[in-house]
Structure 1
Amino acid sequence: MVELTVGYVSGIIAAGIFVARYLFPTLSALILMSLVQEKNTAVTWSVLARTLQSSLWPTILRSDSDCSIGVDRAVNLESWIRVVVAAIISTAGIVTPLGLYDVVLPAPESTPKTFSYIPDQSPMGAGTPPRHSLGFNRRCGLYICPGSNSNITVPGNLDPEWNITIPWNLTYAFASGLSELSPTVSSIWDIEWRNYELTRRENYNKGSLYAVGSYRQVENRILSDRIEVAEGVIMDTKNGGIGFRNHTLPPQSHHGSTWTEDLLFVVPQTSCVNLNLTLDFKWQSFPVNVTVTDRGGFVNLRHQQPEHSIVQTQHNFDLHNKAYTGAWLTNAMGMIYLNVTNPSSHGYAQSFEYVNSAVGKSFPILNKGTGVSWGPDGISTSTMWGDFFNIPDPGYNASGRAWDIASVRYPNPFNITTKNFTNIGPLCQGHSMFDYANMTNVGVVCGIVYGAARRTDGGNHLIRESDSTWQIPIYSCASAAKALIKTVRFRYDGSGSLGGLRVVDMTEKTYQTEDENPLWGVENTSIRLDVAQPLWGIVSKEYQNRSDISVIRKESLWLPGFGDTTLSLPVNGLLNLPGASFHLSSFAYLYSLSSSITNSVSDYTGETSSALYSKWRGYSTQADTTSTIINLIWTDIVANAVVGTRGWLSPQGIPVGSANVSGQVEVPVTEYRKTIQYRVPFGIPAFFALFWILLSMVTVMILLLCGKARPSLVRRYLNHTSVGRTMTLLLYPGWTEPQALTTAWASSVGTKKIDVSVLAPSSADPVESETPPALKRRCTL
Structure 2
Amino acid sequence: MLGNMEISVGVASGMIAIAVTIVTLIVPNAMVLLLVAFLRDEHPAVTWSVVSRAFSSSLWPVILRSDQATSRGNPPLINFVTWLKPLTLFLISVAAIVTPMGLYEGLVLTKQMQPTTFMDLLDVTSMGYGTPPRSDLGFSRQCWGAYPVQCPGTNYVITMNETTASFDDEAFDRRIPTALVELYQSGLALQSRSVSSYFDIQARQYEYKDKYSPNGTSYLVDSFRPMGSRILDDSIYLIDGLIVNMEKGGVGFRKHTAPGGLTYGAQWDEDILFHEPETFCVNTNLTWETQVAVPTDNYTETLDDPDGYLVDQGGFYNINKTSPYLDDWFVDLQTQLLEHGDPSLEARAYRAGWWMNVLNMYYLNVTKPGTNRTAYMNSKLGQRFPANNSFGVEYKDKLTFSGFNGLITGIPSGFEYSNGTIAVSNSSYDDLYWSNPFNMTTNNWTDVAPTCTAAMSGDFANNTNLDVRCGLLLGPAKRVDGSTNSIVEPGSWWTRPIYSCASATKVSIKSVRFIYNSSNTNTLDSIKVLSITDKTYPNETSLPIWGVETPNMKLRDLDPFYGLIAPEKQNSINLTTIRSPHMYVPASSATVWDLELSPNIPGTDFNPGVEGPPQIWSTVYGSTSSNMADYAGTTNLALLQKWLTLSSNTTSAAHITNLIWTDVAANYFTGTRSWLTPQDYMPPNLAKRQSDASGSTSSDVNDVVPVQVYVRRLQYHWVYGIPAFLVLVLTIVIVTAAGIATISGRGSIARLRHFMWSLSPGRMFAAFLFPQEGDLYSPTNPWVDRVGRRNVRIVDEGSQVKGMPLSQVQYSQLNQKEPAQQVTIASTTAFEPGEVGYDRQRA
So what's the TM-score if we normalise by structure 1?
0.86
SS in 1 for 2:68: helix
Is the 8 Å Cα contact of residues 308 and 321 (structure 1) preserved in structure 2? Answer: no
**Residue 569 of structure 2 corresponds to residue 543 of structure 1:** yes
Query: 2:523 is matched with which residue?
Result: 497
State the shift of 1:228 in Å: 2.0
State the shift of 1:665 in Å: 1.5
Pairing 1:126-525 to 2, within 5 Å after superposition:
126-141=129-144, 142-152=148-158, 160=169, 162-201=172-211, 203-283=212-292, 289-309=307-327, 310-311=330-331, 312-313=333-334, 314-315=337-338, 317-344=343-370, 349-366=371-388, 375-383=395-403, 385-388=405-408, 390-394=410-414, 395-397=424-426, 404=429, 408-457=432-481, 460=484, 463-494=487-518, 495=520, 496-525=522-551
Query: 1:672 is matched with which residue?
Result: 710
What is the Cα-based RMSD across aligned positions, in Å?
3.8
Is the 8 Å Cα contact of residues 534 and 580 (structure 1) preserved in structure 2? Answer: yes
Moved more, 682-691 or 287-296: 682-691
SS in 2 for 1:477: strand
Query: 1:567 is matched with which residue?
Result: 596
CA distance in 1, matches of 2:131, 2:489: 43
**Residue 707 of structure 2 corresponds to residue 689 of structure 1:** no
CA distance in 2, matches of 1:75, 1:84: 14
Is the 8 Å Cα contact of residues 755 and 763 (structure 1) preserved in structure 2? Answer: no
Closer, same or farther in 2 for the Cα pair 1:79/1:133, shift >3 Å? same
Query: 1:636 is matched with which residue?
Result: 663
CA distance in 2, matches of 1:440, 1:350: 35
Aligned identity (percent) is 35
Is the 8 Å Cα contact of residues 479 and 493 (structure 2) preserved in structure 1? Answer: yes
Count of residues in correspondence between the two structures: 755
SS in 1 for 2:619: helix
Is the 8 Å Cα contact of residues 756 and 762 (structure 1) preserved in structure 2? Answer: no
The aligned amino acid for 1:634 is: W
The aligned amino acid for 1:380 is: T
CA distance in 2, matches of 1:409, 1:31: 113
Closer, same or farther in 2 for the Cα pair 1:32/1:360, shift >3 Å? farther
Is the 8 Å Cα contact of residues 521 and 552 (structure 1) preserved in structure 2? Answer: yes
SS in 2 for 1:138: coil
Query: 2:127 is matched with which residue?
Result: 124
State the shift of 1:713 in Å: 5.9
Closer, same or farther in 2 for the Cα pair 1:81/1:576, shift >3 Å? same
Pairing 1:522-537 to 2, within 5 Å after superposition:
522-537=548-563
CA distance in 2, matches of 1:705, 1:334: 99
Could you report, residue by residue, the CA deviation over 1:96-131 in whole angstroms, capped at 9, with x for unpaired residues?
A: 446556654432211111112112223322221111
State the shift of 1:699 in Å: 5.0
SS in 2 for 1:64: coil
SS in 2 for 1:66: coil
Is the 8 Å Cα contact of residues 203 and 669 (structure 2) preserved in structure 1? Answer: yes
Moved more, 563-572 or 239-248: 563-572
Closer, same or farther in 2 for the Cα pair 1:32/1:614, shift >3 Å? farther
Could you report, residue by residue, the CA deviation over 1:250-269 in whole angstroms, capped at 9, with x for unpaired residues?
A: 12534421222222111111
Query: 1:779 is matched with which residue?
Result: none
State the shift of 1:756 in Å: 4.7
Is the 8 Å Cα contact of residues 207 and 221 (structure 2) preserved in structure 1? Answer: yes
State the shift of 1:148 in Å: 1.1
CA distance in 2, matches of 1:703, 1:318: 80
Is the 8 Å Cα contact of residues 59 and 66 (structure 1) preserved in structure 2? Answer: yes
State the shift of 1:340 in Å: 1.0
Query: 1:589 is matched with which residue?
Result: 619
Which blocks of at least 5 consecutive residues in structure 2 are unaligned?
295-300, 415-423, 685-693, 800-805, 825-843
Is the 8 Å Cα contact of residues 451 and 474 (structure 1) preserved in structure 2? Answer: yes
Is the 8 Å Cα contact of residues 475 and 498 (structure 2) preserved in structure 1? Answer: yes
Match of 2:43 among 41, 51, 56: 41
The aligned amino acid for 2:548 is: V
CA distance in 1, matches of 2:527, 2:657: 27
Query: 1:602 is matched with which residue?
Result: 629
CA distance in 2, matches of 1:374, 1:476: 23
Is the 8 Å Cα contact of residues 38 and 757 (structure 1) preserved in structure 2? Answer: no
The aligned amino acid for 1:517 is: L
Could you report, residue by residue, the CA deviation over 1:447-502 in whole angstroms, capped at 9, with x for unpaired residues?
A: 11111222334665654455443211111111111111112222222234322222
SS in 2 for 1:537: strand
Is the 8 Å Cα contact of residues 792 and 811 (structure 2) preserved in structure 1? Answer: no
The aligned amino acid for 1:437 is: A
Closer, same or farther in 2 for the Cα pair 1:46/1:664, shift >3 Å? same
Moved more, 759-768 or 304-313: 759-768
State the shift of 1:317 in Å: 2.7
Query: 1:778 is matched with which residue?
Result: none
Closer, same or farther in 2 for the Cα pair 1:333/1:91, shift >3 Å? same
Closer, same or farther in 2 for the Cα pair 1:513/1:755, shift >3 Å? closer
State the shift of 1:239 in Å: 1.0
Could you report, residue by residue, the CA deviation over 1:229-264 in whole angstroms, capped at 9, with x for unpaired residues?
A: 221111111111111111111125344212222221
Match of 2:113 among 110, 113, 131: 110
Is the 8 Å Cα contact of residues 597 and 616 (structure 2) preserved in structure 1? Answer: no
Query: 2:679 is matched with which residue?
Result: 652
SS in 1 for 2:666: helix
Is the 8 Å Cα contact of residues 491 and 503 (structure 1) preserved in structure 2? Answer: yes
State the shift of 1:136 in Å: 0.6
The aligned amino acid for 2:226 is: Q
Match of 2:85 among 66, 82, 94: 82
CA distance in 2, matches of 1:391, 1:23: 100
Match of 2:789 among 745, 748, 752: 748
The aligned amino acid for 2:626 is: T
The aligned amino acid for 1:172 is: E
State the shift of 1:534 in Å: 0.9
CA distance in 1, matches of 2:673, 2:380: 57
Closer, same or farther in 2 for the Cα pair 1:435/1:29, shift >3 Å? same
Is the 8 Å Cα contact of residues 732 and 767 (structure 1) preserved in structure 2? Answer: no
CA distance in 1, matches of 2:587, 2:394: 29
SS in 2 for 1:530: helix
State the shift of 1:184 in Å: 1.7
